């Protein structure tokens, strides 16, 4: 198996999901007591959130690139950035290391395209919904991308930072998200990308009037597949 490095902590609530899901995929494939060899650099999220709010993406890229370099020096053979929003600085991370970087947008887009979906809605932080870095990369895969209106974007963003990143799961917020998805469906969206790693903590597939593509789950599965590489069955006893 190959060792994968995780840059996490953004927020730690969703990083827990990454750790569990990667290991569960590996255990399901290999059985027994098998788990994934991985390294985790969990950042101090308040500092990263302050850089986001200030629009200082350059410094955020410097910080996360240094994390990536540390993971490579520690033995990581591939990298995962356990957040959607901070893929805005993915180019800085990729330039800082010479090991594979598993880009969350490419992995998600491949799953959407494989499902024969062309028109997809995107939920995430305000940065992810407003700025072009995420939508442009999805569009490069041939997808049409919709985002909520400004009022709905504010609600989605607030729930992420004020509730989900703090471990609060509120039924009222789940209902609000479902209503937002219903409005996106009326505009022609065929499915929804959960473009924030915390939203999967709030919404399950049965909650939504549209199919959901959970970026955390897709990213974690891709990480497990990277770890396993050519390992397809448990070793002989």
- What pLDDT does residue 230 have? 62
Euclidean distance between CA atoms 183 and 208, whole angstroms: 12
**pLDDT at 4 exceeding the cut of 90:** yes
What pLDDT does 130 receive?
95
Set 83, 85, 128, 197: catalytic member:
83
Using alpha carbons, select from 163, 161, 176, 127 the residue that is nearest to residue 147: 127
Instruction: Assess whether pLDDT exceeds 70 at residue 152.
Output: yes
Q: Which domains does the chain have, with CATH numbers?
A: 4-103+219-228 (3.40.50.1860), 104-215 (3.40.50.1860)
User: What does the pLDDT read at residue 234?
Assistant: 42
Q: In sequence order, what E strands does 29-148 have?
A: 38-42, 78-81, 119-123, 144-146
DSSP three-state, residue 192: strand
pLDDT(233) > 50:
no
83 labelled catalytic: yes
Mean pLDDT over the full length of the chain = 96
Marked catalytic residue, from 196, 197, 215, 216: 196
Token pair listed for 32 = 């027994």
């Amino acid at each position: 198996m190959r060792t994968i490095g995780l840059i996490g902590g953004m927020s730690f609530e969703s990083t827990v999901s990454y750790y569990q899901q990667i290991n569960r995929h590996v255990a399901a494939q290999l059985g027994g007591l098998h788990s994934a060899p991985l390294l985790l650099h969990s950042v101090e999220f308040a500092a990263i959130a302050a850089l986001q709010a200030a629009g200082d993406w350059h410094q955020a890229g410097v910080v996360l690139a240094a994390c990536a370099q540390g993971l490579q020096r520690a033995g990581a053979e591939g990298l995962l950035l356990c957040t959607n929003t901070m893929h805005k600085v993915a180019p800085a991370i990729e330039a800082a290391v010479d090991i594979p970087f598993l880009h969350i947008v490419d992995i998600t887009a491949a799953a959407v395209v494989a499902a024969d979906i062309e028109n997809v809605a995107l939920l995430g932080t305000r940065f992810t919904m407003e700025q072009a870095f995420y939508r442009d990369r999805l569009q490069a895969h041939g997808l049409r991308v919709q985002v909520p209106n400004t009022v709905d974007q504010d609600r989605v963003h607030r729930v992420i930072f004020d509730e989900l990143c703090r471990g609060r799961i509120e039924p009222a917020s789940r209902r609000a998200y479902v209503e937002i998805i219903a409005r996106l469906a009326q505009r022609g969206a065929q499915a929804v990308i959960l473009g924030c790693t915390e939203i999967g903590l709030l919404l399950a597939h049965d909650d939504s009037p549209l199919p959901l593509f959970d970026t955390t789950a897709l990213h974690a599965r891709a990480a497990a597949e990277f770890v396993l590489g050519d390992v397809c069955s448990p070793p002989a006893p």
